[in-house]
Amino acid sequence: MIDFTVRIGVFVLIFSLLVFWQWNWPRGALLQWRQRWLHNLSLLVVGAMSVRIVQPLLLSVVALFSQNFGLFGLLNLPYWIVLLLSVFLLDCLIYWQHRLFHRVSFFWRFHRVHHSDPELDVSSAVRFHPIEIILSLFIKALAVWLLGIPVAAVLVFDILLNASAMFNHTNARLPASIETWVKKVFVTPDMHRIHHSRVNVEANSNYGFFLSIWDTVFKTKRNDALQGDENLKIGMPDTVTYQPTSLKEVLVMPFKLYKKASLKTNRRSS
């Protein structure tokens, strides 16, 4: 119960602070925020009813039962090293999971719900289809079990992941002098904004959520949009104007095909 209370408390606090930031110092005008917030927060509620509440509790249970069987249990390392390695490796896992969800058509069907948001702000961080949340849960649970990740590390990483996801979707930007240094280690809103481009080659870059080092190491990091930030179009890759118009359309999107309309920018970049 304490675990759950901490997660919710931190989520509400970070969400509120980032909303305040983007409201008072926006990077650009949001023209469709009412409909988008209705869709995004509705998905948060649907996800919470289906698995978001169960997910942290289940991962904690898996962590409790895996400590004597996982890799870290066998290595007998100091506890603080186990905590750091756990967070580090879980973040690497999320990076590769994200790449997988883009590359494998079955997973992309669900992940494209996230990319169908035609604008980006802090609410975009909770725009995930419930089935994608469930798939992600099984992947993380397997990693927690195999590595023997402790409960405390599960809690810390979940808080970091949620906080960083909200941060890098925020409709705001860091000062240029700070951005240059921060993005060397952490994912920033400017970096993640490129990942939400409608141009496929840009959407298949900057996969990280918390640490940007994975994009650097695995050569998927892109610092600048192909046509400049002012011309970057946010939305589903390989489409010009597609966006869902109702919550029902968002929920059934994984089970329907959509017409592709290649962008001229994408053809030049291929």
Domain that holds residue 58: 43-269
Residue 38 lies in a domain: no
Residue 153 lies in a domain: yes
pLDDT digit string (tens) for 219-233? 999 999 988 888 899
Residue 183 lies in a domain: yes
Mean pLDDT score of the chain: 86
Average of per-residue pLDDT across 58-77 = 76
Residue 78 lies in a domain: yes
Average of per-residue pLDDT across 184-188 = 94
Where does the pLDDT of residue 74 fall: very low under 50, low under 70, confident under 90, or very high at 90 and above?
Answer: confident
Nearby residues of 162 by Cβ (< 8 Å), 6 or more positions away: 7, 10, 11, 14, 125
Residue 60 lies in a domain: yes
How far out from the chain centre does Cα 152 lie?
A: 21
Residue 59: count other Cβ atoms within 10 Å of its Cβ: 23
Residue 128 lies in a domain: yes
Distance (Å, whole) CA 95 – CA 93: 5
Phi, psi of 258, rounded to the nearest 5 degrees: -130, 150
pLDDT digit string (tens) for 44-63? 888 776 665 566 667 777 77
Half-sphere exposure of 67 (CA within 13 A, CB side): 15
Least confident segment among 169-173, 208-212, 223-227: 223-227
Residue 105 lies in a domain: yes
Q: How many domains does the chain have?
A: 1
